[in-house]
Amino acid sequence: MRTLVVVDDNAGFRARARALLEAEGFHVVGEAEDGRTAISVCRELQPDVVLLDIGLPDVDGFEVTTRLQSDGSTRAPMVVLTSSRDASDYRVRIRRSRARGFVPKDELSGAAIDARIAAP
């Protein structure tokens, strides 16, 4: 079972994502409401996957991804970015990031996460 941390500034979305992903086979080990907390929680819990909102109130999801992937950890998590905005708003930045991909919030599912993390 893959471990996962949900990062979003909206508590309602975090609760819905947790329930949905746990029902679809993920073990949600933590949550964070902003970028700084996300980095701390991920370093402590070392999840396999991070579902990471791009539009956080302090540090955006792209910067959080960079920090998680380059903090010297031998086991950096796989990051899947999410947003309620359309992917076309971020297409170039998503491609250049170290994230495994992007899932729109309204299309979130375990299968969508699996498809992104299965990609090389």
Q: What are the backbone dihedrals phi and psi of residue 2, each rounded to the nearest 5 degrees, phi first?
A: -80, 140
**pLDDT tens-digit series, residues 75-118:** 799 999 999 998 788 899 999 999 999 999 999 999 999 999 99
Q: What single-letter DSSP state applies at residue 87?
A: G
Query: CB-based burial of residue 70 (10 Å sphere; 0-12 exposed, 13-18 middle, 19+ buried)?
Result: exposed
The per-residue pLDDT for 88 is: 83
Asked if residues 59 and 36 have their Cβ atoms less than 8 Å apart, the reply is yes
- As a whole number, mean pLDDT of residues 29-46 equals 96
The per-residue pLDDT for 86 is: 82
**For all residues of the chain together, what is the average pLDDT?**
94
Domains of the chain are 3-118 (3.40.50.2300)
**Quick one: tokens of 77?**
């998590």
